[in-house]
A and B are shown apart, each in its own frame.
Chain A
């Protein structure tokens, strides 16, 4: 189960490994619900991961994931394949999440998913909790909470690039297409977002 939200471990099916996105989109546009079901199956984890990390609230993330797919289904006849389905869906998800947060006035308590038990077998976890690490005396849940709080203190545009790049592994050029900015702008946002998060977490680790 670990890594189910991680695009690096969740390969998009290519030719020879089921129908391509283009084929499924075309079938869905012609009213084939099974094809759309397949698209939901394929991208549900990614979209949930994006909305969850953008909101740090699992109930909001579930609602938003539903909204994103319903919106995508309704807008599918107007999808013209200028960009990939994946980019188009991410754009819907980012816009929906930003609008949702604006409506809710950004004041939502954290509601976080549990860590998998497999985390204890992860090398990074061992490094972070080893003797000499600044985080050795901090519990995992405390760390999780602080990390999500720091994430929520970022502006929408900065959080979007951090979540997409550092948590979901989306490349800079894809992020640029999603947020409709240049690759340079994306890199710059990423740089400043990381600096801001470092500043927040350093304060916490003192």
Chain B
């Protein structure tokens, strides 16, 4: 039942309420044994240390401790994730371009690929005298049959 002003606090000033307050006040003297309280605190710290030693910090725990704003304000967390994602994408694209331009396999050449001559010569081949490829058998006579000797002259071994 409330009073005329419907204010529970004002209504609480009647004698019955005052008596109740006095009784509550006496509970201040209802105190635990000091030795039991000391033991209780020691037990708490023992259990806390046990809990601490078997605790495995997850990545989420570490993040929450070190960057609490990330979780407190999810919108900033999401924004930060987006920035990290965009940054990684940018770095990925750059590294791909860099690999294409600097490794031999993907070298971009404007014209034909020029092989260096010395790398193509084998070391144990015999060198031959330079002769024309086609020799006429009867070069100065009439009635040239048109037959030409095609061969190779090799030195005696």
On A, residues with C-beta under 8 Å from B are 1-6, 29-31, 33, 36-37, 40-41, 44-45, 48, 52-53, 58, 61-62, 65-66, 69-70, 73-74, 77-78, 80-82, 112-116, 118-119, 122, 124-125, 127-128, 134, 143-144, 147, 166-167, 187-188, 190-191, 194-195, 197-198, 201-202
Give the docked Cα–Cα distance between A80 and B19 (Å).
42
Are A190 and B51 also in contact (CB < 8 A) when A1-B34, A44-B37, A65-B44 are? no
Tell yes or no: B106 within 8 A of A by CB: no
Shortest A82–chain B CB gap in Å is 7
Tell me if B2 and A44 are in contact (CB < 8 A).
no
Shortest A21–chain B CB gap in Å is 16
Give the docked Cα–Cα distance between A33 and B51 (Å).
11
Beyond the given pairs A4-B31, A48-B32, 9 more chain A to chain B contacts, judged by CB atoms under 8 angstroms and listed by A's residue number, are A2-B29, A44-B41, A66-B40, A66-B43, A119-B26, A144-B30, A166-B21, A198-B16, A198-B17
Are A66 and B8 also in contact (CB < 8 A) when A113-B33, A147-B23 are? no
Tell yes or no: B141 within 8 A of A by CB: no
Q: How many residues of B contact A (CB 8 A)?
A: 44
Considering the complex, give the chain A residue whose CB is closest to the CB of B62. A77
Are A37 and B36 also in contact (CB < 8 A) when A119-B29, A124-B26 are? no
Give the docked Cα–Cα distance between A1 and B37 (Å).
12
**Majority secondary structure, B binding face:** helix
Tell me if B48 and A128 are in contact (CB < 8 A).
no
Tell me if A194 and B17 are in contact (CB < 8 A).
yes
Give the docked Cα–Cα distance between A178 and B5 (Å).
28
Chain B residues numbered 1-25 whose CB sits less than 8 Å from any CB in chain A: 1-2, 8-9, 11-12, 16-17, 19-25
Chain B residues numbered 61-78 whose CB sits less than 8 Å from any CB in chain A: 61, 64-65, 68, 71-72
Give the docked Cα–Cα distance between A30 and B29 (Å).
38
Count of inter-chain pairs, beta carbons less than 8 A? 138
* Residue of B1, B24, B52 ringed by the most chain A CB atoms within 10 A: B24
Tell me if A188 and B44 are in contact (CB < 8 A).
no
A-chain residues with CB within 8 Å of residue B31 when the two chains form the complex: 1-2, 4-5, 113-116
Tell me if A191 and B12 are in contact (CB < 8 A).
yes
B-chain residues with CB within 8 Å of residue A4 when the two chains form the complex: 31
Contact partner, A191, options B2, B43, B49, Cβ 8 Å: B2
Tell yes or no: B137 within 8 A of A by CB: no
Tell me if B65 and A62 are in contact (CB < 8 A).
no
| 5 contacting pairs across A/B (C-beta < 8 A) | A4-B31, A40-B44, A113-B33, A124-B22, A194-B12
B-chain residues with CB within 8 Å of residue A48 when the two chains form the complex: 32, 37, 40
Shortest B55–chain A CB gap in Å is 8
Tell me if A82 and B32 are in contact (CB < 8 A).
no
Tell me if A187 and B26 are in contact (CB < 8 A).
no
Give the docked Cα–Cα distance between A82 and B43 (Å).
29
